[in-house]
Structure 1
Amino acid sequence: MDNIVSLLTTTEGRIGRQQWWIGIVVLIVISIVASIILGIISLGNATVMAWLAVLLNIALIWPSYCIGIKRRHDRDNDGTDLKILIAGSLILNLLQATGIGVTMTDMGGVMVPVPAIWLGVINFIFAVFAIYMLVQLGFLKGTTGSNSYGADPLDAAA
């Protein structure tokens, strides 16, 4: 349990792909459970749910940053691209919550947020960047041996 806590709360050192995926799975489970609870709390009100989603995003920023930055360090990278990913996620979340660039449309009796074209383009660009980051964080091997951020986590595991 201490390993999971330090994985999600510290930014020093490096982690390998396996530890990153473990951290991501933990965050996904937390996110799903919290989303279900928030969905119940919001009573189906899309505006309330959008603002609760912003709060959930804010709550998960630090643990997401911690596992991401250690993974970027494993690839001998300072993590600037990770900061862009996290900031972009929060900005897009805030745009949806405030209704900027979103029109509520009736789809068979259910009000659904439909993004404006400009917001759809931004979402598409962000999705491409997020896929790039997924490949960087979850699939590419880290630097073999020590780098400027510490010892190889695979050497320490052996």
Structure 2
Amino acid sequence: MKLLAWKLFGFGGRLARGDWWRLGLPAFIGLIAVNLLVTVGAGPGEAAYSGPAFLRLALSAPLIWALYAIGLKRCHDRGKGRFWLLMFVLVPVLGWGWSVIELGFLRGQAGANRFGPSPLGDESLDDVFA
């Protein structure tokens, strides 16, 4: 449980591609679902400080935090810092598409890098599981 909490909410270290997909996809789908359900439940012209808006914020905040944390750790695995994650988020369409390629499909750096040891553990197995 402690490892899952670190993977979802911690900002240090590295994360393998498989974990990025297993944790990021459900969090992203959850974020979309929360926003759709709360939007459908809100009335027309609902105030920003209303119950549905507060509910959306309360349910979305942990999901956004988790998406940022796992994205940052995946950037670390690729040998990139937080600037790259910021670029992925702030550049519409092109940045978002490239983030899926960069974080979801490209192999992480073999062995240890400045962000920590390989998330795959045994360095000799990197080529097998990459």
Please state if 1:135 is matched with 2:107: no
For 1:120, the equivalent position in structure 2 comes to: none
TM-score, normalising length: structure 2: 0.73
Task: Indicate the percent of aligned positions where both proteins have the same amino acid.
Answer: 28
Which structure 2 segments of 5+ residues have no match?
126-130
Aligned partner of 2:120 in structure 1 is 154
In 2, are the aligned partners of 1:68 and 1:137 still within 8 Å (CA)?
yes
Question: Which structure carries more strand by proportion?
Answer: 1
Task: Provide, for residues 71-116 of structure 1, a one-character-per-residue CA deviation record: whole Å limited to 9, x for no partner.
Answer: 0010111120212334x3xxxxxxxxxxxxxxxxxxxxxxxxxxxx
Deviation at 1:30, TM superposition (A): 2.1
- Is 2:97 the counterpart of 1:69? no
Q: Do the aligned residues in 2 keep the contact of 1:42 with 1:49 (CA within 8 Å)?
A: no
Note if contact 1:76-1:143 (Cα within 8 Å) is conserved in structure 2: yes
1:8 aligns with 2:8: yes
Q: What are the within-5 Å matches in structure 2 for residues 48-67 of structure 1?
A: 48=46, 52=53, 55=57, 58-67=61-70
Decide whether the 8 Å contact of 2:8 with 2:70 is kept in 1.
Answer: yes
Determine whether 1:24 maps to 2:27.
Answer: no
CA distance in 2, matches of 1:57, 1:84: 21
- Residues 27/63 of structure 1: CA separation in 2 closer, same or farther (3 Å cut): same
| TM-score normalised by the chain length of structure 1 | 0.62
Looking at structure 2, the residues matched to 49 and 18 of structure 1 have their Cα atoms a distance apart, in angstroms, of: 40
Structure 1 residue 31 displacement after superposition: 1.5
Tell me the SS of whatever aligns to 1:153.
Answer: coil
The SS at the match of 2:93 is helix
| Distance in 1 separating the partners of 2:115 and 2:103 | 16
Q: Is the 8 A contact 1:39 1:49 kept in 2?
A: no
Residue deviations 1:122-144, cap 9 Å, x none?
A: xxx61011111111111100000
Which one-letter code corresponds to 1:149 in the other structure?
F
Corresponding position of 2:128: none
Q: Partner letter of residue 11 of structure 1?
A: F
CA RMSD of the aligned region, Å? 3.0
Q: Distance in 2 between matches of 1:64 and 1:81?
A: 14
Q: Secondary structure at the match of 1:8?
A: helix
